[in-house]
Amino acid sequence: MKITIAKNEQEFDTVAAWRIIAQMLMKPNAVIGLSTGQTTIGMHAIVSKIFSQYPWDVTNITLFNVDELTNLPREYAGSCYTMILNQLAGPLGIPEENFIMPPTISDDFEAECLLFEKRLEERGGADLQMLGIGANGHIGINQPGTPFNSESWVSPMDPDFEARVRRETQVPPETVLGGLTRGIKNIMHTRKLILIAKGEHKSEIIEKAIFGPVTTDIPASIVQLHSDCEILLDAAASSRIVNRIQLIHKC
């Protein structure tokens, strides 16, 4: 497990962006998994900016997101499809057939989970996953307690996040919201993982995930067992672990 610490948020975004770009340049038909949220907005913007200045061939690049909200319109600004489309897939001109996302509305989400994984497997499986970590240690929408052998499924939302989504969308209370997410087993089968975090508010969970026991109580702790995993942090997110690391790659 490699740990990289950027000096500040701007440098973090730049380093993360170049990890994505490098994968595309190294393997022109790469299958790349993304994550949404405040952690990834800056890095996606840098990838798009560099591409606009120095475009490269993305004809055979496949993008997907590690999860997607369910029972909400795909056009909702908070849907993973819309965020990745606006932030990266659209600006890079990724062909529609190479932007693999499950639907947000379906009569059979179990079948959609299987189809999502089948489409990725047909392309050789995921080469890279940029993987965010929640304040409670969740990865994707695999909340604490999710079995490590879980495969793609529809998980309940975090209650606070669900409350915010309901306020923003005015979805009626009888509509069950959730998140179709790659399971922890699927995530661990990715060839390379980059666990990303920035900000002081992530420092405690990073310490627990990286130096604590591997436990389903903190789903992200499983990355300790991955054969090719990089932990990419800004200085604030690394504040609790920096003195515990003997060998750090600093940017």
Quick one: pLDDT at residue 158? Answer: 84
The model's confidence at residue 80, banded by pLDDT at 50, 70 and 90, is very high
Helices (H), 27-158: 38-53, 80-84, 90-92, 109-122
Strand 2-6 relative to strand 229-234: parallel, antiparallel, unpaired? parallel
Task: Determine the Cα–Cα distance for residues 2 and 15; give it in Å rounded to an integer.
Answer: 14
Q: Which amino acid is at 150?
A: S
| pLDDT, tens only, 26-45 | 999 999 999 999 999 999 99
The model's confidence at residue 250, banded by pLDDT at 50, 70 and 90, is low
What mean pLDDT is predicted for residues 129-140? 97
The model's confidence at residue 243, banded by pLDDT at 50, 70 and 90, is confident
Domain extent, residue 18, equals 2-250
- Choose between 251 and 231: higher pLDDT: 231
CATH number at residue 202: 3.40.50.1360
Quick one: pLDDT at residue 231? Answer: 98
* CB-based contact 142:31 (threshold 8 Å): no
Cα Dmax for the chain: 52
| pLDDT, tens only, 147-203 | 999 999 999 988 888 998 999 999 998 999 999 999 999 999 999 999 999 999 999
Give the single-character DSSP code of 247.
S
Position 246 pLDDT exceeds 60: no
Task: Determine the Cα–Cα distance for residues 131 and 173; give it in Å rounded to an integer.
Answer: 30
Task: Determine the Cα–Cα distance for residues 135 and 83; give it in Å rounded to an integer.
Answer: 21
Q: Helix 38-53 vs helix 9-26: angle between axes, to the nearest 10 degrees?
A: 60
**For the chain, how are helix, strand and coil distributed in percent, rounded to 5?**
40, 20, 40
* Total domains present in the chain: 1
| pLDDT, tens only, 95-111 | 999 999 999 999 999 99
